[in-house]
Amino acid sequence: MTEETPGFDEKPDVPSGAEADDAEPKAAAPSEEAAAPAGDVQQTAALTAQLDQVRTALNERTGDLQRLQAEYQNYRRRVERDRVTVKEVAAANLLTDLLPVLDDIGRAREHGELVGGFKAVAESVETVVAKIGLQQFGKEGEPFDPTIHEALMHSYAPDVTETTCVAILQPGYRIGERTIRPARVAVAEPQPGATPAAAKEEKADDEESGGTEEV
């Protein structure tokens, strides 16, 4: 017969203290699992707070950038406006000294004296001042405007219905919106008590048609 080795089939005795030690980790596991979500909530709250701070800082920087851009655009517009103004003033100062020359050219043209080489020079001068921006204004028959006209002569006329420029003694000149010299004109006003020509024509038409027919 085979001899049995004593104690092989028997389970070794485990001390009671060891069993208690093995049971403690299992009992502590639920408390660790409960503590883990609380830590995640705190971390999420901290990240949310940081994100809000970043958004606030971004909005402030964006506002600063927009204000800076608006100020820059206003600065550019002011510089451009000042540049145009300075250019117009400089051109006006130069052209003011040339107005007597232009007046002489105009009188020579009216009297038929603008011929030969003088004509070529005069036309070159007029071309140059036109390129600079000089514009001539003032025409016979236009209404009198004290902002652009200077009345040197005054009379009454039965054929006008308002104060009218009847003769241009000296043309006016402007550059851009700036008037260098007003047009010097002779004006005529409606004659006191006189019937305007338009009213006379209407009255004559009514008389020719036999007056207003009654219905």
Write down the pLDDT at residue 138. 93
The Cα–Cα gap between 61 and 145 comes to 54
Residue 72 sits in the same domain as residue 146:
no
Is 4 inside a domain boundary? no
**Which of 78, 101, 132 corresponds to the end of one domain?**
132
Residue 122 sits in the same domain as residue 152:
no
Write down the pLDDT at residue 195. 58
Which domain range does residue 152 map to?
A: 135-207
**Which of 84, 105, 132 corresponds to the end of one domain?**
132
Is 20 inside a domain boundary? no
Write down the pLDDT at residue 172. 95
Q: Report the range of poorest mean pLDDT among 114-118, 127-131, 135-139.
A: 114-118
Is 1 inside a domain boundary? no
Dump pLDDT digits (tens) for 163-206. Answer: 999 999 999 999 988 899 999 999 999 988 765 554 455 555 55
Say if residues 153 and 187 touch (Cβ distance below 8 Å): yes
Residue 120 sits in the same domain as residue 164:
no
Dump pLDDT digits (tens) for 6-63. Answer: 554 555 555 555 444 554 545 445 555 555 566 788 888 888 888 888 998 899 889 8
Dump pLDDT digits (tens) for 196-213. Answer: 554 455 555 555 555 444
How many separate domains does the chain show? 2
Is 26 inside a domain boundary? no
Residue 43 sits in the same domain as residue 106:
yes
Residue 46 sits in the same domain as residue 127:
yes
Is 27 inside a domain boundary? no
Say if residues 188 and 160 touch (Cβ distance below 8 Å): yes
Residue 171 sits in the same domain as residue 183:
yes
How confident is the model over 74-83, as a mean pLDDT?
A: 90
The larger pLDDT score, comparing residue 64 to residue 192, is at: 64
Residue 63 sits in the same domain as residue 96:
yes
Residue 153 sits in the same domain as residue 114:
no
Closest CA to 191 of 165, 150, 167, 163: 163
Residue 143 is classified by DSSP as B
Say if residues 149 and 182 touch (Cβ distance below 8 Å): yes
**Which of 90, 116, 132 corresponds to the end of one domain?**
132
Say if residues 168 and 139 touch (Cβ distance below 8 Å): yes
How confident is the model over 60-71, as a mean pLDDT?
A: 90
Is 33 inside a domain boundary? no
Is 57 inside a domain boundary? yes
Please report, for the domain that includes residue 193, its CATH number.
2.30.22.10
